[in-house]
Amino acid sequence: MDMSVVDAAELLRVSPRRVRALIASGQVRARRIAGCHIVDSTSLRAARHVTRPMSGPNAWALIVGPERATWLNPSQKYRLRRRVAVVDQSPDRLAVVASWLAGRGRAEAYFCPDSARLLGDPRLVATGVSDPRSRISSEHDQYWVQPGYLADVTRDHLLVPSRDGQVRMGEAPVEVPTPAPALLVAVDLFEDGQPRSMLAAERLIRDLVLWP
């Protein structure tokens, strides 16, 4: 989706001049029409990744919370808590957290002949645009598959990997609570890359306690 430099600056929480600098450096994609830059909103996601990803275990610990993160010992939990305390002082928590959670794993696109059936599958956890808290009506769906079920879900729903598929799905390495943790929903919305998704992500994370 295309957007103006001013709108891109608002989403990135930077000045329009900074957006133009990102365009000039190639970090944000844009084309010129009638002398004005038109920004490709999907390229903003990479521009906002501002720090190194966490390891997979730490990323999922942050997602599910300290009570469920049984794979971390008390010392590891303490260090993660201290790291999270720093981001609470950041002017852009979402960009930092999205960078951290890039280590959670990737979702892939699939074509699904009957995507309505996915919603009732207990092996799937709706996230991103598919979570009601996003308040977004979309032709696409986003899910995380509970551990060990991706092959079965792919077979049962006749899913076919496709770059243009309407379903994005990844297999979680740990059990994901239902409904999905708000932090996971927010970051999946952020990585959707569409302006309305990114704004919904900002709304969800604004008052969220990251590590209660």
Is 60 found in the same domain as 28? no
The encoded tokens of residue 153 equal: 């879900």
What would the mean pLDDT of 83-95 be, rounded to a whole number? 77
Which range of residues forms the domain containing residue 172? 56-205
Is 125 found in the same domain as 41? no
In a domain, 146, yes or no: yes
Is 172 found in the same domain as 103? yes
User: φ and ψ at 37, to 5 degrees?
Assistant: -80, 130
Is 98 found in the same domain as 22? no
In a domain, 18, yes or no: yes
> Percentage of the chain with pLDDT > 90?
58
pLDDT tens digits, one per residue of 164-205: 899 999 999 999 999 999 999 999 998 887 888 988 998 999
Domain count, the chain: 2
Please tell me the predicted confidence (pLDDT) of residue 81: 92
Indicate if the pLDDT at residue 51 is higher than 80: no
Distance CA 117, CA 104 (A): 26
Q: Which residues contact 70 (CB under 8 A, 6 or more apart)?
A: none
Is 183 found in the same domain as 81? yes
> Percentage of the chain with pLDDT > 70?
93
What would the mean pLDDT of 134-145 be, rounded to a whole number? 95
Is 184 found in the same domain as 122? yes
Is 175 found in the same domain as 115? yes
Is 62 found in the same domain as 37? no
Please tell me the predicted confidence (pLDDT) of residue 45: 67
In a domain, 42, yes or no: yes
Is 36 found in the same domain as 118? no
Cα-only R_g, the chain: 18
pLDDT tens digits, one per residue of 101-123: 989 998 999 999 999 999 999 99
